Structure formats: C-alpha cells, structure tokens
Structure 1
Amino acid sequence: MNPMLKVEGISKTYGAFVAVQDVSFEVNTGELVAIIGPNGAGKSTCFNMLSGQHHPSAGRVWLEGRDITRAKPREIWRMGVGRTFQIAATYHSMTVVENVEMALLSRERRLYHMWKPASAFCRDEALSLLDSIGMAGQAHRPCSELAYGDIKRLELAIALANRPRLLLMDEPAAGMGPRERNELMALTKRLVTERDMAVLFTEHSMDVVFAYADRTVVLARGKLIAEGTPPQVRANPRVQEVYFGSGKSFEAQGEEVLA
C-alpha cells in the first residue's frame, strides 16, 4: 500500500542559498505528523513545496502513488489535499455558514451560477461541517464577531469542505491560548480517525507536538536531523542540542514554545 504522502529527497535552492536539502519522509493514513525545527530550519519552504506553492529544485513528492512534484496548488487541492494557514483568513463580511458554502461551491465548480443563491446548493452540507467542529450554533454569526479560536476552527471547516485525504496545517495553534490550542488539536485528532485521513502540521508549541503528534520530523538548517515518535525525538541528543545547545531534556522545558 502506498503512503498517503511520500517525500523523496526534496531540496530547494535560491541561487547559492540552500533552504531545504535532501529531505525525505512519509505520512500514512490515520497519522498526525508534525514538522518542527527552529526558525530558519526550512519548515515553511518544505510545507510550501508539498502544497504546490513552490516547486522543488530536486526530489519528488507523491500523493497516494501519484507524482505531484510539479502540480499547481489548485490541482493539488482537487486531488484531495486541504490546507490551513498560520494567519487565518475568512470573509469577515459573510456569516460563518456562508464562508463554508463558498468552499463547497468551489469544490463543485458552481461559483458562477446566475439564477440560484449559493445557499440553495449546499446549506445542509455546510451546516453538517460546522456541526462536526462544534460551531453549528454560530452558523449565522458574521465572521467579524468571532473570537480568534473560533476563526481557526472555521478555517478547519473550510479546509474540510474539499473532503481532503491529506490535510496540511501551518502552525494551527499560532496565536492561541493553551486551552484553545488543545481543543483545536484534540478536534483535529478526532477528525483524522473519523474521516480516515492524514494530517501533516508545522508547529512551534512543543506541548501541542508532544501531546498530539503520532510522529515528528525535525529539521535544522534545511536538513532532516531526526524522525520518530515524540518520546524518541524528545530523547534524541542531536535534537536537544539544536534546540537548547546544552543537551537539556525536553521534559525540563514543560510548556516551552520555541522561538
């Protein structure tokens, strides 16, 4: 069986600067995998190559056995890859349910129908998606009134509108308090099981990574330096040195949020 996502030796160079060098890993269905690393490690560059925003200078990216290395973002989206972003973006002038309906209409390619209102096509499915993330009660509120944690949950519902087999989440807990980020990641973990999909996410909050990731990929200066379960990564001397410079253990850092 092919892995959901297979990354084979991808690199990205900008002139003489090497942002990512020879990175390989896999993500399987039913897994929540984290990419971590200090600032400048190459996490965002790697993430953008997987979603088609940038193309690798070398290497290959496979989605369920299909080569998507040179595919465009919209093509990758239509193949079943959803994405959320570090800075959540919604249509503030629209209601919560209307935001989800826009994503559903895009999936069905019905953005330019002249005679029927958008709600005539997909209101029930939009409400069902909101119910799955615990926001059905806020369906008719304007997005401009939502708390930041609810905006992040809405962004998740929008990403799920495409029925993704793989979900890419760029720092999903950024800007959230401890309770909000744990609620969001617990919800994501549940959806992985319920929807039989895979999730790959980047994150700086170590409490989130070690509480929810099934496996962790560690980058430093564009190279993969470690991969394994959270306990394996936490005990890895090279990872400890990269983050703390003194070999201190992750346990001693508690709720440390890496800069």
Structure 2
Amino acid sequence: MSTLTVNGISKSFYGVKAVQGVSFEIGPGQIMALIGPNGAGKSTCFNMLNGQLRPDTGSVTFGGHDITGSAPSEIWRHGVGRTFQIAQTFGSMTVRENVQMVLHSVNRRLWGLWSPLMAGYAAEADELLEAVGMQEQADRACCVLAYGDVKRLELAMALANRPRLLLMDEPTAGMAPKERNELMSLTARLVTERGLSVLFTEHSVDVVFEHANTVVVMSRGQLIARGTPEEIREDPLVQEVYLGSGAFLETSGIGQ
C-alpha cells in the first residue's frame, strides 16, 4: 500500500495552467525527489499536497485518507511533517523550546503563566534533538545557530508529530556542499530508523542523484518522467528539458 497517492491533480491561476494532471505514488521508506526547471510547477504541486492550495481537479490520498483540499493543520495531524525552504524556527527561543512548542501543539496543550513552555515535554524534545545531532545545543538560543544547525533543528521539529511522510521544500537551499550531504544523509538515516517516506523538491541535482531513490520530473506543469536516478540521467526528454543548464549537465553526467 502506498503512503501517498497523487491522482491527476491540476491547478490554474487566472487561466494559466500551473499543474496539469499530475499523478504519482510514494511507498513506505521511499525517498522521492521532485525536480524540474524554474516554472515547472513544482512548488504549486508541493503546496497542493500539504494543503496550502486546493487542487482544481484530482485527488490526494494519504494512508487511505482523502486529504484533498484539507487544511495544513489537518494534514499535519494525519502524520505529514514539513520543512520549508526558509527554515521556520523562533530565534528568541532556545533550541529545546522550539521543539517543546511543537510538542505542545501535537498534544493539544496550552501553556501560560501557570504552565511555562519550558516545563513540558523536555525529555521528548531532547530525544528528538539527539536524533538530529542537536542535543548538545539544546540550551542555546536559536538565533545564534549556524544555518546548517537551524535546518537540523527544523527537522527535529518536523519529526515531533511522528510523521509517516516528510515533505521537504528545497531542504539544502543556501547550504554549503558538505552541509547539504550531511543533512540529506541524516534524513536517509531517519527514513530507515523511523520508517518514514520523504518527498523533497531540490535545485541541487547532485543532492538529488546522491540521495533520492526515485526521481519525478516536471516541465510546464506536467509530469514528464519518473524513475531511478540512473534512468532519469539517461531519459532523452529530461535531457531536452534541461538542455542549456550547465550545472545539471555537468553534475548528472548528461551529455558526457
């Protein structure tokens, strides 16, 4: 049984077809990359899966539940985690408090003067921080962290609702090559340890071909290819779509 089934979703804006009839499935333990040139419709597709946008047509099913058009908070409670291109953390809070805040939301508990945030779920927060290699920095303010560590913290926060699927929007944007590989290697380890599935968008094709086990390619709102990294490298239509992108050709081996 697939974790996520996307069936013929489409979205238009003022008559412009941003996404047209896209379908694919993600199975348990799968790391899938969604790639394409600028304007391909990746972000629109991604946002329909997480509830930021409602598809005009088609359906999205997660774990047997129809989540088409559901609010992001509802999809999150079904077990879908999300990280963002620009990390969504609170700089004035400590690393631990950032995770505790999410855990309070997961457990639907409020806090106030009579119940300080730092008093709840500290052990659970530390467990999540240990999973991403951030426990030693638990008491540091988020605002002083290196960018790579902020991304690790965001990953810990995304794991707080015990997701079965993790959506990662350009997870390595703005990171140095070494940091990119470390973050995605960590993600791959968590997939194995926690039984996750991962769908991520990414412009860095070196990250895609190194860490994804399945790649789907979009162009002009349509899905044009799906396969292993090796199959995508050799696909003539993918080569045509990316023709002129030296970074892609050099990294992927296309044209060599």
Q: Per the shorter chain, which TM-score range?
A: over 0.9
- 1:85-126 per-residue CA deviation (whole Å, 9 max, x = no partner) reads 001121111100000000100101112455222233200000
* Alpha-carbon distance in structure 2 between the residues aligned to 1:125 and 1:64: 25
1:217 has 2:195 as partner: no
Which aligned segments of 4 or more residues in structure 1 are displaced greater than 6 angstroms? none
Per the alignment, residue 34 of structure 2 pairs with 35
User: Is the 2:233–2:252 Cα contact (8 Å) retained in structure 1?
Assistant: no
1:3-48 CA-partner distances (Å, limit 9, x unpaired) = 0000000000112100000000000110100000000000000000
Which residue of the partner structure matches residue 6 of structure 2? Answer: 7
Asked whether the equivalents of residues 84 and 156 of structure 1 are also in contact (C-alpha less than 8 Å), the reply is yes
What is the alpha-carbon distance in structure 1 between the residues aligned to residue 247 and residue 27 of structure 2?
A: 28
Residues 1:254 and 2:228 aligned together: no
8 Å contact from structure 1 (residues 240, 249) kept in 2: no
What is the 5 A alignment of 1:88-127? 88-112=87-111, 115-127=114-126
Unaligned stretches of 5+ residues in structure 2: none
CA contact (8 A) 1:235 1:249 kept: no
| C-alpha distance 249-232 of structure 1, shift in aligned 2 (>3 A) | farther
Matched residue type, 2:198: V
SS for the counterpart of 1:131 is: helix
Aligned with 2:85: secondary structure?
coil
Q: 1:22 matched to which residue of 2?
A: 21
Residue 120 and residue 225 in structure 1: after superposition, are their counterparts in 2 closer, same or farther (change >3 A)? Answer: same
- Look up the match of 1:242: 241
Counting matched residue pairs gives 253
Is the Cα contact below 8 Å between 1:205 and 1:255 reproduced in 2? no
Asked if the contact 2:8–2:20 (Cα under 8 Å) also holds between the matched residues in 1, the reply is yes
- Where structure 1 has 5 or more consecutive residues not aligned to the other structure, the ranges are none
1:254: Cα distance to partner?
A: 2.3
Change over 3 Å in CA distance of 1:139–1:254 after alignment to 2: same
Output the amino acid matched with 1:254: T
- Tell me, yes or no, if the aligned pair for 2:36 and 2:42 is still in contact at 8 Å: yes
Say whether 1:74 aligns with 2:80: no
Residue 177 of structure 1 is matched in structure 2 by 176
1:147 corresponds to: 146
For residues 197-252 of structure 1, give each alpha carbon's deviation from its aligned partner in whole angstroms, at most 9, with x where no partner exists.
10000000011000000100000000000000000001001001100159x996x5
CA contact (8 A) 2:219 2:241 kept: yes
Give the whole-Å Cα distance in 1 for the aligned partners of 2:45 and 2:178. 29
Q: TM-score normalized by structure 2?
A: 0.95
Question: Which residue in the other structure is 1:232 paired with?
Answer: 231
Deviation at 1:65, TM superposition (A): 1.5
Identity percentage of aligned residues? 61
8 Å Cα contact 2:42-2:201 kept in structure 1: yes
Task: Output the TM-score relative to the length of structure 1.
Answer: 0.94
- What does residue range 51-90 of structure 1 map to in structure 2 within 5 Å? 51-90=50-89
Q: Match for residue 197 of structure 2?
A: 198
Q: Could you give the per-residue CA deviations for residues 150-186 of structure 1, whole angstroms, max 9, x where no partner exists?
A: 1111100010011101000000000000000000000
CA shift, 1:64, in A, is: 1.2
**Cα RMSD over matched residues?**
1.7
1:207 aligns with 2:209: no
Contact 1:27 1:198 in 2 (8 A): yes
The match for 2:188 is: 189
Report SS of the residue matched to 2:242: helix
Amino acid at match of 1:184: L
Q: Which amino acid aligns with 1:117?
A: P
